[in-house]
Structure 1
C-alpha cells in the first residue's frame, strides 16, 4: 500500500501557510510543511499485512506513544483526504497488534528481529525493542483511535480498538494493586539508575489508591513514585473515548467497565494526587505513592501536567490546572529553565538547563491567549539552530547545543501548534465530551 509522502499541496496546508506567512515570518509556514513532510516521507514504513510501522526519528523502533503523537496533527487534515485516513488506520492496526502482543512493552521492532535497546533486558520476545511499562503507552493509541473516529466518522478500526481496549483494561486493573497482583518486573544492569526499577524490578513501594501503577514515565525514565498523575488522567480520558467507541460498536459491557475505571482513576487522583504548595496553593503532584510520598515537578514529555488540556479532558480554565500550570512555569518547578534565548520546561532525561521544544509547543497550545501561542511558535523557529527541524532539547542560552537531531515527535508538536495558530488545528478533538461523529 502506498501512503502520502507530502502535504505541500493539501488545501488546508496551503491555507495554513498563507495565514502563517501573513504573520510576517516565512519560517512559520516553511517549517510546518517541512515537519509534516518529514514524518510522512521518512518515518512511515508500509508493512506486508497492510499496517504501517512508524519510527520515532533516529531510533529504529516504534514507540506506541510517539507514533500516536506523530500522527496527531494530521487529524486536522483527514476529512477529505482518504490517503491520510488510510495511513492513520494502518498505524492504528499496527499499534493494536503490538499492544495485544505485549501490553507491557513501550517500543517494538518491525519484524521479530530480536533487536533491542539492551539485549540483556528481561523480555525475550524478538518483536519487542523495550519493555518499559508506561501507562501512557496504552493510553495514546486509544486516544488516537477515538479522535480518528471523531475526525472522520470511519468505523472500520473500531473492532480492533475494542479488542485492544479489553487487554488495556485488564492491565490497568491489575496495576491498581501492583504489589499483590502484578508479575511485571524490569531490571537493567547497564546505564543510569533511571533505566531500571529498584526492589528486584518491582519499583518503589506503593499503597492502593484507585490509580493505576506505572514503572516508567513518558520520558522512559523510571518513576520515583509508582503513580504518575498526568498518565492516570490521560488514561481516564482514553477510557472516556473507549466507552464511546464500545457503545457504538455494540459492547455496552466494555463501555460500563471503561466508565467505571475512568471514575476510579480520577477519584484516586483527587484523593491522593494533589498537594498544597506554599506559593501556588493546591496543585497536582507529578508522582505519588499513596504512602505520603509526592514528587513536585513536571516533565516535558507528554502526558505532562502542562499538557492536561490536550490529553486528559481537563479545561484550560480549571482552577486546579491553572494553579498547577503556574507552578510548572515557575522556578518552583525544578525542570523549568529561563535563559538568554528561551524559557520553558525540560526533563531529567536530558542535561540540565535544556528546554524541550515539545514543552514549548504544549505551553502555546494550552494557552488561551493568541499572543502567547504565537510567541511559542516564534521561540520554536528561533531555537532550531538553523536546521528547520525541532530537536529533543536545546540549551537555554545556546540552541546550537541540542540533543537528537531527528526527533519526529517534536516536529509533530510544532505542526500542531502552527496549525492551531492558523486556526486549523485539532483543538475541537481534545475533549471527549464534544460532539460525536
Structure 2
C-alpha cells in the first residue's frame, strides 16, 4: 500500500479490505482512465472508486446526476462530474472528535497534492457545496442527541471548529498540520526550514506561517456561509469560535498600523518574516517587515492568496473580502445574544466600515484610458503613500472576484472599468494571451502560465454569453485529457501545466457549472465539439 493509503486506513476513512486497491490520488490524477468521454477531448474518468472516496454524500451524487443531465456536451458533462466532488472524493484527510470535548466535531482537509490544511483553501473547498448545505434534521447545537456524522453540515462544523483552534493557536499563520487526535504525522515543509518568524510558532502544529489577510477572511466567510444556510447560531457559542474571532480582530487590528509614528519614529511590525530563498516572492524586504505603509484604515497583508509576498502591503482584494465577511459574521455574534461578549458585533461592523472607507479613499486610483482620458480603477495593492500595483493575480480573493465574494455588484462602474483592464495584456502584466488559453496568471508560476481558476471567475462575473462560451471552450481544452482543473496551464501549450491535484480549482469549476445551470441554462445545452 502507498503511504497516503495507509494513513487514510488508520484514520478510518477506508475499510481494511478495500484499502489494498485504493490508489494514491497524486499518481492517479496524472494518468488517463477509462471510460473516456465521448466528445473530441475524450476526457478521462478521474473519480476514485466509491469505496476509496474520502466522503460519500448521496445529496451530492443526486446533484451530480441531475445537473449532468442538463449538460448537452459530453466533455463538459465529464469535466463537471470529475471536478465538482473532488474535495469530497479525495481531500477529507480525517474526521473525528476533539480529545477534550467529544461533542466537538473536527475535520482536516488537505489542498490536494500538498498534505496540509490551508485556512483559505479549505474554506473555499467547502464553499463548493453551499448548494447542498442545509440544517441537520436534529441540530446538534440544540439537542442532547449526538451530532449527525455524515452530512455536509457536519463537515462544515468540523472545519470551522478546527480552523478556530488553529487561529487561537497561531493567528498569523496560513497552513496547518493535522490535529493530534487524527494520529497523522505532521508533514515536512523543507521550504520553511530557514524561516525566521515573529511571533514564533510550533512546527508540530503549523505547516507554514505566512501571514495572509485572506486567511482570516476565509474563516469568517466559512462561518457566515454555514450560518446563512443553517441559521444555527447556537453552534458558534459552544466551542472556540468566539475566541478565534477575538484572535482575528486582534491580529488584523495590529496590522492596521503604519510604519512610522507621529514623530517619524519607526513602529515595529506585529509580524516579521524572512526565509532563505532564491525567489524574491518567498521573503519580505526590510528585514522581514515588508515595504513601508501609511495608516489608511485598511489591514496590511504580508503575503497574497498565492502565498507570494506582497509588493505593497495593503492588498486591496483581501481587504475587500475581510470587510465583507466581518460584517456578515457580526450577524452570528448578534444571533448569540448574551452568550457573546458585549459590543463585539458592533466592533466588527465598525472595523468593516473603516476598511471600506480606506479601500475607497486609497484603493481607487487614476489611470490613463485607451483614448487618453483619465479614469479610475481599483489597484491590486497600495501603500497609502501613492504607490500602487496595477495588476491582478489569479488566486481568490482577486480584484476580478470582488462580485463573487459579495463586496460589490458586477455592474459597479469602477469594477467594470477595472475588469476590462485586468482582462487585457495592455492593462494587466499578468494577463496571459495565447493560442490555447487566455487568462490571468501571476508571479507564483510566472509569465506565460494562465490559471484556470481566474478563467472560472471570469465566467462567474460575466453576463456576456459570447465571453462565457469562449472561456468555457478554453477550459475544456486545458486539461491535457485528464479531466481536472490544473493550477496553471501554458497559454500556448495545454500539455504543459502545474499541479495535477488542486481540489479548490476543481470545486470552483463545479460551482461555476451550477451557477450557469440556474443563471444561463441555455449555455449548458450547447455543443462544444
2:247 is aligned, of 152, 160, 167, to 167
What is residue 438 of structure 2 aligned with on the other side? 343
Name segments (4+ residues, structure 1) moved above 6 Å.
none
Distance in structure 1 (CA, Å) of the matches to 2:344 and 2:477: 47
Larger radius of gyration: 2
Q: Provide Cα deviations, 1:325-375, integer angstroms capped at 9, x if missing partner.
A: 011011221011221122111111113111101000000001123453344
Matches within 5 A, 1:19-34: 19-20=70-71, 24-34=72-82
What is residue 103 of structure 1 aligned with on the other side? 171
Structure 2 CA distance for partners of 1:405 and 1:303, relative to 1, 3 Å: same
1:260 is aligned, of 350, 354, 379, to 350
Using structure 1 for the length normalisation, give the TM-score. Answer: 0.91
Distance in structure 1 (CA, Å) of the matches to 2:159 and 2:303: 24
SS of structure 2 residue aligned to 1:423: helix
SS of structure 1 residue aligned to 2:108: strand
Distance in structure 1 (CA, Å) of the matches to 2:179 and 2:134: 32
Q: 2:60–2:85: 8 Å Cα contact kept in structure 1?
A: no
Matches within 5 A, 1:76-87: 76-79=131-134, 83-87=151-155
> Greater CA deviation, 173-182 or 250-259?
173-182
What is residue 188 of structure 2 aligned with on the other side? 115
1:328 is aligned, of 422, 425, 445, to 422
Matches within 5 A, 1:259-408: 259-279=349-369, 281-331=375-425, 332-408=427-503
Q: 1:106–1:134: 8 Å Cα contact kept in structure 2?
A: yes
Question: How many pairs were matched up?
Answer: 422
SS of structure 1 residue aligned to 2:359: helix
Structure 1 residue 200 corresponds to structure 2 residue 287: yes
Deviation for aligned residue 1:46: 2.3
Structure 2 CA distance for partners of 1:386 and 1:6, relative to 1, 3 Å: farther
What is residue 127 of structure 2 aligned with on the other side? 72
Distance in structure 2 (CA, Å) of the matches to 1:264 and 1:350: 34
Distance in structure 2 (CA, Å) of the matches to 1:200 and 1:399: 40
Structure 1 gap segments, 5+ residues each = 426-437
> Greater CA deviation, 81-90 or 166-175?
81-90
What is residue 132 of structure 1 aligned with on the other side? 210
Structure 1 residue 45 corresponds to structure 2 residue 119: no
Deviation for aligned residue 1:80: 7.2
Q: Provide Cα deviations, 1:259-307, integer angstroms capped at 9, x if missing partner.
A: 1001110111111111111017200000011112111000000100000
Deviation for aligned residue 1:171: 1.0
Structure 2 CA distance for partners of 1:85 and 1:57, relative to 1, 3 Å: same
Deviation for aligned residue 1:404: 0.9
What is residue 4 of structure 1 aligned with on the other side? 55
Structure 1 residue 248 corresponds to structure 2 residue 346: no
Q: Provide Cα deviations, 1:109-166, integer angstroms capped at 9, x if missing partner.
A: 1147373342222244121111100000010121111012112333354224433222
What is residue 430 of structure 1 aligned with on the other side? none
> Greater CA deviation, 9-18 or 302-311?
9-18
Distance in structure 1 (CA, Å) of the matches to 2:254 and 2:351: 12
SS of structure 2 residue aligned to 1:148: helix
Q: Which structure: greater helix fraction?
A: 1
> Greater CA deviation, 307-316 or 196-205?
307-316
Structure 2 CA distance for partners of 1:327 and 1:305, relative to 1, 3 Å: same
Distance in structure 2 (CA, Å) of the matches to 1:7 and 1:185: 46
Distance in structure 1 (CA, Å) of the matches to 2:78 and 2:458: 22
SS of structure 2 residue aligned to 1:416: helix
Q: Provide Cα deviations, 1:203-222, integer angstroms capped at 9, x if missing partner.
A: 01111111001100111110
> Greater CA deviation, 51-60 or 108-117?
108-117
SS of structure 1 residue aligned to 2:85: helix
What is residue 51 of structure 2 aligned with on the other side? none
What is residue 307 of structure 2 aligned with on the other side? 220
Distance in structure 1 (CA, Å) of the matches to 2:319 and 2:437: 30
Distance in structure 1 (CA, Å) of the matches to 2:195 and 2:174: 13
Structure 2 CA distance for partners of 1:151 and 1:111, relative to 1, 3 Å: closer
Distance in structure 1 (CA, Å) of the matches to 2:62 and 2:293: 51
Q: 1:175–1:213: 8 Å Cα contact kept in structure 2?
A: yes
Deviation for aligned residue 1:378: 3.0
Using structure 2 for the length normalisation, give the TM-score. Answer: 0.76
Q: 1:205–1:289: 8 Å Cα contact kept in structure 2?
A: yes
Q: 1:162–1:242: 8 Å Cα contact kept in structure 2?
A: no
Distance in structure 2 (CA, Å) of the matches to 1:4 and 1:129: 24
SS of structure 1 residue aligned to 2:84: helix
